[in-house]
Amino acid sequence: MQNNSLIGRVAWNTLITLLYLFLLAPIVIVFIISFDTRQYLAFPPESLSFGSYVKVFENVKFISAFWRSLAIGVIVGVVSVSAGMLLSLSLVRYKFRGKAAVNFLILAPFLVPHIVLAVGIMLVIAPIGLLDSYPGIVLAHLGITIPYTVRTITMSLMAVDTRVEEAALVHGASPAMVFWRITLPLVRPGLIAGAVIAFLISFDEATISLFIVSVKASTLPTEIYHYLEYSTDPQIAALSVILILISIGVVVAVERLVGLRRAI
């Protein structure tokens, strides 16, 4: 009996360890390759240097695409949270005809493959002349980020006791004041979590972006994709490591700030 359970525990721990190794292996390999000095992707590296990192920072296309992606991500984050707040308020606080339908529509992008969404969004955006423009890519990204922000904000909003808002009303706060001073601060974790998720999705998104942008509004993921079409060198690995570090940085900062795990 004693033996059995020991063997079981060892087997279980091994399985978990292997699973984590499998999940983390690509990141570890990319990290190691990013220091390789050769001009093609291979493992293990022959000699190590920071050369690829220097090249990434000297690559004008990458750097300008990075700033574009950052700006697009920030705008997408802010707009999805604003729209998500309004949608959540209407879904949580009001009863209206067709509420179930709205709820489903908000959920729908979760269920549709991105490639299908991409074609659909392109067909909508093309006739109004927004292909390869900032408004176009922002709109396209909002289509996939709003479902997430609505989820996080709805969760926070449902946890707000409406009697607290009533107490504010009774003690002299106008409905607008109640919103600013009570409701908004109380759903803050949901707002921040939603904004971060929306930013990260927008910042990483490649499939839909490839259909929408070409030159003027190209994002970092689309630039990476185009770069990979013609060359495969450790620059890509170095860039990937930088992107991973940025994502981790954002998540850690938010976790410190509000407790992301609680917010989601």
Partner 1 sequence: MADHHVIIDNLVKTYPGAQKPSVDHVSFSLPRGEMLALLGPSGCGKTTILRMIAGLIAPSSGAIRLDGRDVSAIPVYKRNMGMVFQAYALFPHMTVAENISFGLEMRKVGRAEREERVRKALDLVKLAGFGERKVSQLSGGQQQRAAIARSLVIEPELLLLDEPLSNLDAKLRDEMRDEIRDIQARTGVTAIFVTHDQDEALSMADRLAVMSAGKLEQIGTPLDIFDRPQTHFVASFIGAGTFFEGRVAGPGLAEVDGLPLLHFAGEAAIGSSIKLMVRPHRLLLAGEPGQPNSFSGVVEHIVYRGQILTLSVRCGSRVLQADLPTHAGVLPKKGDNVTLTVAPDDVTLIGREAA
Question: Near partner 1 by CB under 8 A, which window of 34-42, 56-64, 142-150, 167-175?
Answer: 167-175
Asked if 15 is part of the footprint of partner 1 (rule: CB under 8 A), the reply reads: no
- Evaluate whether 208 touches 141 at the Cβ level (below 8 Å): yes
Phi, psi of 30 (to 5 degrees): -60, -40
CB atoms within 10 A of CB 58: 10
When binding is defined by CB under 8 A, the residue of 27, 78, 167, 253 that contacts partner 1 is 167
- 217 Cα distance to chain centroid: 19
Asked if 256 is part of the footprint of partner 1 (rule: CB under 8 A), the reply reads: no
Long-range contacts of 44-51 (CB under 8 A, 24+ apart): 45/234, 51/234
Binding mask 110-149 for partner 1 (x = CB under 8 A): ----------------------------------------
When binding is defined by CB under 8 A, the residue of 185, 248, 249, 259 that contacts partner 1 is 185
Phi, psi of 112 (to 5 degrees): -95, 135
Q: Give me the sign of the Cα torsion angle 101, 106, 111, 114.
A: positive
- Taking phi first (over 0 means left), then psi (-120 to 50 degrees means alpha), and beta for anything else, what does residue 233 get? beta
- Evaluate whether 81 touches 187 at the Cβ level (below 8 Å): no
Question: Near partner 1 by CB under 8 A, which window of 111-119, 124-132, 164-172, 217-225?
Answer: 164-172
Question: Near partner 1 by CB under 8 A, which window of 64-72, 114-122, 162-170, 247-255?
Answer: 162-170
Question: Near partner 1 by CB under 8 A, which window of 72-80, 179-187, 211-219, 230-238?
Answer: 179-187
- Evaluate whether 210 touches 100 at the Cβ level (below 8 Å): no
Asked if 58 is part of the footprint of partner 1 (rule: CB under 8 A), the reply reads: no
The residue count for binding partner 1 (CB under 8 A) is 18
Nearer Cβ to partner 1 (182/217): 182
- Taking phi first (over 0 means left), then psi (-120 to 50 degrees means alpha), and beta for anything else, what does residue 98 get? left
**Two tokens at 17?**
């360890």
Q: Give me the sign of the Cα torsion angle 236, 237, 238, 242.
A: positive
Nearer Cβ to partner 1 (178/242): 178
Asked if 181 is part of the footprint of partner 1 (rule: CB under 8 A), the reply reads: yes
Nearer Cβ to partner 1 (169/248): 169
Residue keyed to tokens 């493959």: 113
Footprint on residues 186-225 left by partner 1 (CB under 8 A):
186
Residue keyed to tokens 């300008």: 64
When binding is defined by CB under 8 A, the residue of 1, 60, 98, 163 that contacts partner 1 is 163
Q: Do you find a cis peptide bond into 44, omega within 30 degrees of 0?
A: yes
Question: Near partner 1 by CB under 8 A, which window of 79-87, 118-126, 140-148, 166-174?
Answer: 166-174
Nearer Cβ to partner 1 (112/167): 167
Which parts of this chain interact with partner 1 (CB under 8 A)? 161, 163-164, 166-175, 177, 181-182, 185-186
